[in-house]
Structure 1
């Protein structure tokens, strides 16, 4: 029956760090340092937990399909913008593609970057078109603009996963001034840097900014994604969206987290401190990062070799060989708990 499966799903999908975890377990590490998934090691806000627990008592009912309470909380936190929500940033990405892309349409993707953009585009029948970044992984606006000509949708991640590169607001404005289609700006890690793209929503009607509650707000397990969208676009998104995508517990937890913004302040500060320490103390070059992770160049070794060696020593990091256009000698290391970060620096120095 395998012949019934669509061709785009017969190859490799999104790559998780499961193999490294299995190696660590095989070497007897019951509690390895988990630095592969860009998770927040700090727990969520107590207010988020309290509201989530309260919401459990009502899960016999469907959630609010409009996510009204969560959207109101987002406006209280960010300002007067229009928002949509879904199951993680991935749900937002899939729904946006669904509203715009027909079979055969080409979608621009700034690479190397998060591989799910291409997976989601192909799933909708479209074709991802990679636009390479410069050698320092910054975006060349002119090259990106030329690639967008005649195409409806483009993806750009900033801070970029996995390189950590932050694209300046001025470059985003230059792109939006010239392209005729929609730019999806994935800002999942924006809480960990000083750039602010939100004011651009007041100037441009061809911009969507994707955000998440998984990182700075410590709610990765509840899969809460949302996006700033132009007013004209919102009803089309809602028409295409899967019904009841964001469950009532997630909505309540998201509202609670947004009501307690001070909870993220020490989390962001800790990330800044450890990014600096990784850059200073790693024996391998570390790229500048605006996210809660860093990219490490482990050449002349390969990423797979280093991942396996670190996993055997109880440190799980991410090989970046699955990121299109990056090469085979980069690993991505999340900022974890202090003991995990110390363990990484200790073990990578021994390689």
Structure 2
């Protein structure tokens, strides 16, 4: 029966995950491991998020609101009067957007190196994926991107980019939008840690979707809450394509509670910015400038896998970037964790 498995899964490895902290701890004999591989917020969810989630859990016998209306209203209070859709993490939003617009065999463009899930999800829907390389410094050439994406039903651009950390200037994104004949999905998962605001572009372009997440700044990675700013024309079609009840009521309530509690997110943002500067100044390898809650480090002459293994042996879990398409094999990505985790990382990478 194995022949019944689709070719895109039979011969490919799928999404590449970092090692688990428990596995590293057992393998190397640590009580606790510095978890710096998954771009998580090391702090727990805000008290307001926890209280809202507990209240929603008491009604867990009922299906959630199909449109996550309370969360959408909270998003409008937080961001302004835009159109929003939600999903089970940004990944769920990405899959639903692809399902909404892409027919099998149609072209989907991806700016690389970047988050591998765009291509995995598009390929799973039968799309022809076209990778558009960034410049040597990982910046994006707007004219080249738009030209290579011509004819694509959908294109993906991540800013700040995972794993390189750099942002695309809004004026460059606008040039891409003006030149494109399809939809652009702008992944803003890490924009909360940057000084760049792409939201005004939604007022001027009806071919732009801006994806966001509650996993990073708002510390809800385990609850899987994603959302997107969408054009008004697109919203009803997204809902037709969406998996019913994809976003559970506990997660939606926690997200609405977190949006109403500004204190913890302000502290988390300041923490990230402080440690990005320390990594840049204290790590003895080239650290790329970052607008995200992580940094990318060139560990040559080591490979990313070798550096990750040596750091794991010292109780530090980081992400080797060898699985990112279009990126060399000598990079690691390091999240900003708790103070003790970051200090252990700096000490460990100096040792190797």
Tell whether the 8 Å contact from 1:20 to 1:317 is kept in structure 2 after alignment: no
Compute the displacement of 1:262 (Å): 2.6
| Mapping for residues 144-293 of structure 1, pairs under 5 Å | 144-293=145-294
Tell whether the 8 Å contact from 2:21 to 2:35 is kept in structure 1 after alignment: no
Tell whether the 8 Å contact from 1:112 to 1:326 is kept in structure 2 after alignment: yes
Tell whether the 8 Å contact from 2:215 to 2:221 is kept in structure 1 after alignment: yes
Partners of 1:257 and 1:175 in 2: how far apart? Answer: 33
Deviations 1:259-290 (A, max 9, x none): 11232011001100100000010000000001
2:54 equivalent in structure 1: 53
Deviations 1:184-226 (A, max 9, x none): 0000000000000001101100000000000000000100000
The TM-score normalised by the length of structure 2 is 0.98
Partners of 1:76 and 1:9 in 2: how far apart? Answer: 42
Tell whether the 8 Å contact from 1:111 to 1:131 is kept in structure 2 after alignment: yes
Distance 1:305 1:21, change over 3 A: farther
2:6 equivalent in structure 1: 6
Partners of 1:328 and 1:20 in 2: how far apart? Answer: 23
1:349 equivalent in structure 2: 350
Tell whether the 8 Å contact from 2:36 to 2:319 is kept in structure 1 after alignment: yes
Deviations 1:148-176 (A, max 9, x none): 11111100000000000100001001111
Distance 1:160 1:189, change over 3 A: same
Deviations 1:204-263 (A, max 9, x none): 000000000000000001000000000000000000000001100011101100111232
1:81 equivalent in structure 2: 82
Tell whether the 8 Å contact from 1:24 to 1:315 is kept in structure 2 after alignment: no
Q: Which runs of 4+ in 1 moved over 6 A?
A: none
Unmatched tracts of structure 2, length 5 or more:
none
Is 1:110 aligned to residue 108 of structure 2? no
Distance 1:98 1:211, change over 3 A: same
Tell whether the 8 Å contact from 1:317 to 1:332 is kept in structure 2 after alignment: yes
Q: What is the Cα-based RMSD across aligned positions, in Å?
A: 0.9
Compute the displacement of 1:178 (Å): 1.1
The TM-score normalised by the length of structure 1 is 0.99
2:330 equivalent in structure 1: 329
Partners of 1:173 and 1:215 in 2: how far apart? Answer: 26
